[in-house]
Structures are given as structure tokens and as C-alpha cells.
Amino acid sequence: MSSGKVHHKIVQKTGETYQFSEKTLTRVREIIARYPEGSEKSALIPMLHIAQEEFGGSLNANIMDYIASLLNIKPIEVYEVATFYSQLYLEETGKYVIEICRTGPCVACNAEQMIGHICQKLGIEDGETTLDGLFTLKTVECLGACGYAPVMQVNTNFHEYLTEEKIDRILETLTSQAAEPQKEEEKWVEKFCLKK
């Protein structure tokens, strides 16, 4: 028998309200306008990436409800998508999310060694975030770059043919840039959603 209380974290409300900045809202409207009337849901994945980026790096029920209202769809339709894709985060993440492929071609090219190196270098395990909040490590299924194995994605940037030395350089660069705001050209909306 149900107590009427929400038990699943994905639908628990925080009481906060969310609104895109005017600049982002203009871009979001441009993305939605690409689809025929009644097919606005087609803009869902780009909008979730944009929301995740603008609202602190992860999604919660209030954010997903806001996206549903913009697309005129039911919140459950947003929850279904947000829980399916590995690049949409329901937990807080670090400023830089390192996603490293752990499927066949990458494993055959030393991905496990690269994962171990990152864990040792950052002092975290898969799914964890460094104490300074800078890095989150996630092992994922296929990043779609098998010919360049092993590969990882850090936010919107792909890194191929990984070696321990290359990983060290990437981590050092990111650490040195941590205080800088994210570059416009590296935001999801600019890099992937508005390209013509």
C-alpha cells in the first residue's frame, strides 16, 4: 500500500525554480523552431545538455519539469530520457566530467590501464568526484570513436589515442584552467546544438 510519498529520487522536488538566461532562452527557442509544430520533443536532448550546463552540472526534478514545460510534454518523458543517457547527470559532478570508454576496442588498446592511471592520479574510483570538486570519473559504454582507441570525453572535448603521459597533460591543463569560466565555444549549445 502506498503512503503517497515520493520515494524515488528522480521525481523528488527541491522547491527551487529554474529559468534560462535570456541569451540561453533565445538559443533554446532557435533549437525548438527547427522542428515542426507538435514535434518539439525532438529538441529534448539538446535542451537537457543546455540545462545541465546552465544549472550547475546536473539535473533534478525541478529542472526536468521546467524543460517539460518549455517543450509542452509530460515530465515523465523528460525523466525517461535523462535516466537513459550516460552524459546526463542526476548527481552532482565535478567541473570536469571525465568519461572514458571501457568497451571492446578501447579495452584492447589499454583502456583499463588508462582508467587505473586516472584513478591513481586523482585518488578516486569510477563514479566518484575529487574532494576539490574539480573532476568526476565515469566509465562509459562506447564513445563512438573505436578507431582512435582508447578514448575519453571531458565535458564537450574528445581525447583520442590515450597514453598515461597524454592523460597527465590533459589533467594538468584542466587543473591550471579551473578558475577560468567555461569558454562559449565549448558549451553544448554552441558546439553541438547550433551548428548548421
Task: Give the pairing of strands 152-154 and 135-140.
Answer: unpaired
pLDDT value at position 78? 95
For residue 89, CA distances in Å to 64, 157, 165 come to 12, 17, 28
Three-state SS sequence of 87-152: CCCCCCCCCEEEEEECCHHHHHCCHHHHHHHHHHHHCCCCCCECCCCCEEEEEECCCCCHHHCCCE
CA 29 – CA 26 distance, rounded (Å): 5
pLDDT value at position 176? 94
Coil, strand, or helix at residue 163? coil
Burial group, residue 185, by CB count within 10 angstroms (0-12, 13-18, 19+): exposed
pLDDT value at position 85? 85
pLDDT value at position 179? 87
- Residue 42 cell numbers, joined: 525532438
111, 133, 108: which is closest to 122 by C-alpha?
133
Coil, strand, or helix at residue 13? coil
Non-local (6+) Cβ contacts of 181 within 8 A are none
Coil, strand, or helix at residue 67? helix
pLDDT value at position 12? 66
Mean pLDDT, consecutive 10-residue stretches, the chain (196 aa), reads: 55 81 90 90 93 90 94 94 88 92 94 96 96 94 91 92 97 92 70 60
